[in-house]
Structure 1
């Protein structure tokens, strides 16, 4: 299988750097082919702007989605965007590895998605009608591929528990796993989260890599998170709200899980 690892940490000698190297070695040792997009090492441009559509009419105001649509359709996108899109199409699985900074991914990784997820590539795809609302949330160009997050955080696991002060980890990751990965069709497997990273010693590191290794071994066999498919009959279209008989009484993120 082909695996794309998108890595977002500025220090290669960090815990994240070590876990990245372990992941690559584990996957390659199992016979998989791995590409790494090391965003800091690549000096990845995080800001979506007019430079991403170099053939656009500069006399007109920049329109992020429409200029993205034209550039993607006409093959005139910035070269770095096109290269990352090719990697995504090549990959059978995507792994995103990042430290949790201020309850989300680092800005450089968010900027990767802002630029690489072009109109016509990851969104704005498919029929929009009274029976379907595009190919998304379970459909799209990434359908049939898998995705997994590898996340590190300095907080304790209890801080991210259902009654923890930071809120449940699953809720914090929902916008990434559901809104960024499931949206264009990825089957998203549960994340691998490393807590309390400042208290990592040799023994705990050995335990952590052993657990990560098992998760990587199960990347293609693990049961994906049970997100509801948008066009599967459970949502009113075009309102995109759950039908009254689906998960009655439930609201928020949990309502969109089977």
Structure 2
């Protein structure tokens, strides 16, 4: 089985990149393959533009960079997103990747007079989100629920993809980094065995 690991962080020495590496190590240990999409290093442009709007409105052919990302996803049995939490959500780089790649005609099918057809039912999704705050802050203010509503359901369930793992890896600037790396490796090892950590 094959996974696409998408990393949205500008610093290759970041804990976010460390999570991606540990997921990859877990996959390798379990005999599976992976590809890492390092959006910052690869220079992915997250800005939704006129060409993207034409894809949405009139089913125009997507720009070449979007087609390349869709091809990566088409090769994958699972998608892993490793990202820092910025303002209680996805960083702009990753949100722009989703905005541009998960388009009408590929991730979903709908029109003014037709219901939504979810086209990514074959895809398993694993979310590893790093945050500096503690669980109490996320729960007290409803941020954890808001993130799951927006990302797990609002994005992936809308496309039919199954979110198998949704981990908020918190207090990342404290002493939790090693535990988070261990969690990421366990997710990688269990990715295709039904043993992924569910949050």
Q: TM-score w.r.t. structure 2 length? A: 0.88
Aligned counterpart, 1:244: none
1:151 partner SS: strand
Aligned counterpart, 2:135: 157
Deviation at 1:64, TM superposition (A): 6.0
Aligned counterpart, 1:33: 33
CA, structure 1 residues 208+117, in 2 after alignment: closer, same or farther (shift >3 Å)?
closer
Q: 1:197 aligns with which of 141, 165, 172?
A: 172
Structure number with the bigger relative contact order (C-alpha 8 A, sep ≥ 6) is 2
Q: Aligned Cα RMSD in Å?
A: 2.4
Aligned counterpart, 1:246: none
1:213 aligns with 2:195: no
Deviation at 1:219, TM superposition (A): 2.7
2:31 partner SS: coil
CA, structure 1 residues 224+28, in 2 after alignment: closer, same or farther (shift >3 Å)?
closer
Aligned counterpart, 2:106: 121
CA, structure 1 residues 174+18, in 2 after alignment: closer, same or farther (shift >3 Å)?
same
Deviation at 1:160, TM superposition (A): 1.1
1:147 aligns with 2:138: no
CA, structure 1 residues 223+151, in 2 after alignment: closer, same or farther (shift >3 Å)?
closer
Q: 2:162 aligns with which of 179, 187, 190?
A: 187
Q: Any conservation in 1 of the 2:17–2:82 contact (CA below 8 Å)? A: no
User: Structure 2: how far apart are the matches of 1:78 and 1:64?
Assistant: 9
Q: 1:90 aligns with which of 69, 75, 81?
A: 75
2:95 partner SS: helix
Instruction: Kindly name which structure, 1 or 2, has the bigger radius of gyration based on alpha carbons.
Output: 1
Q: TM-score w.r.t. structure 1 length? A: 0.69
Q: Any conservation in 2 of the 1:160–1:168 contact (CA below 8 Å)? A: yes
User: Structure 2: how far apart are the matches of 1:156 and 1:101?
Assistant: 14
1:119 partner SS: coil
Q: Any conservation in 2 of the 1:104–1:173 contact (CA below 8 Å)? A: no
Deviation at 1:173, TM superposition (A): 2.5
User: Structure 2: how far apart are the matches of 1:194 and 1:224?
Assistant: 12
**1:1-31 C-alpha deviation (Å, 9 max, x unpaired):** 1101111011111111212211112112211
